[in-house]
Chains A and B, each alone.
Chain A
Amino acid sequence: QVHLVQSGAEVKKPGASVKVSCKVSGYTLTELSRHWVRQAPGKGLEWMGGFDPEHGETIYAQKFQGRVSLTEDTFTDTFYLELTSLRSEDTAVYYCATGGDFQEFDYWGQGALVTVSS
């Protein structure tokens, strides 16, 4: 059973960057396909980026290209999302998730609220 625990809430100013972490337990990081999904207040789910097993590489949603970076630390089984040049529209709950064999998201973190406000 995979368990994902995310870092806490953050408040950032416009133009700043944020880095959200997701610690894996129950499996080692390299055994899992890792993804990030966000949800703005009162809105739907939006996939940001993650490992695409069909092409064997990390891919990003076009709207975040150039602003998002996905990294990992295999020693601590933790993966990260960094989003730069924050604006108010980036205020959202950011979820980490793992990808299953059918390209579904089978396990989810608890979410981390990022608030962008001056």
Chain B
Amino acid sequence: QSVLTQPPSVSGAPGQRVTISCTGSSSNIGAGYDVHWYQQLPGTAPKLLIYGNNNRPAGVPDRFSGSKSGTSASLAITGLQAEDEADYYCQSYGSRLSGYVFGTGTKVTVL
């Protein structure tokens, strides 16, 4: 089961800003491990969107940004576009015992 908690869904109109929270614990995010974010379009493999809390891989628009504080992290999407409609997952590391952990996932809907 997922160790990181995300809201099931968020929505916004085109051009608006939406944020997705990712809540962990002192065993993962709070232990200092980085948080990463993935975008998954319907029927496709996940794609790395943000790594190392707030870094964008080449080709990812700067409309996407990440932040981390304490035991939580957030993904912000500014200037929301129809093509941003997808599922988003956070991910971190949770020690040798629990390994790598994912968030529960958030569906973003563009109204």
Complex: A23 Cα to B99 Cα, angstroms:
24
Chain A residues lying within 8 Å of B38, measured Cβ to Cβ, are 45, 105
Query: Counting chain A CB atoms within 10 Å of each CB, which of B45, B89, B98, B105 scores highest?
Result: B45
A8 to chain B, nearest CB (A): 15
| Given the contacts A104-B36, A104-B51, A47 and B46 also touching, CB distance less than 8 Å | no
Complex: A49 Cα to B100 Cα, angstroms:
8
Whether B34 contacts A62 by the Cβ 8 Å rule is no
Whether A47 contacts B100 by the Cβ 8 Å rule is yes
Chain B residues lying within 8 Å of A49, measured Cβ to Cβ, are 99
Interchain CB contact (< 8 A) of B51 among A54, A95, A106: A106
Whether A45 contacts B89 by the Cβ 8 Å rule is yes
Q: Does A7 contact B (CB under 8 A)?
A: no
| Given the contacts A44-B2, A44-B104, A47-B102, A104 and B96 also touching, CB distance less than 8 Å | no
Shortest Cβ distance from A63 into B: residue:
B1
Q: Does A73 contact B (CB under 8 A)?
A: no
Whether B34 contacts A55 by the Cβ 8 Å rule is no
Chain A residues lying within 8 Å of B40, measured Cβ to Cβ, are 45
Complex: A37 Cα to B46 Cα, angstroms:
10
B73 to chain A, nearest CB (A): 13
Chain A residues lying within 8 Å of B2, measured Cβ to Cβ, are 44, 46
B29 to chain A, nearest CB (A): 12
| Given the contacts A103-B34, A104-B34, A109 and B45 also touching, CB distance less than 8 Å | yes
Whether A108 contacts B100 by the Cβ 8 Å rule is no
Whether A62 contacts B51 by the Cβ 8 Å rule is no
| Given the contacts A45-B105, A108-B46, A102 and B36 also touching, CB distance less than 8 Å | yes
Q: B interface vs A, CB < 8 Å?
A: 2, 33-34, 36, 38, 40, 45-48, 51-52, 55, 57, 89, 91-93, 96-105
Give 20 pairs: A residue, B residue, CB < 8 Å, sorted on A: A44-B104, A45-B89, A45-B105, A46-B2, A47-B91, A47-B102, A55-B96, A95-B45, A95-B46, A102-B34, A103-B34, A103-B36, A104-B34, A104-B52, A104-B91, A105-B36, A105-B48, A106-B51, A108-B47, A110-B45
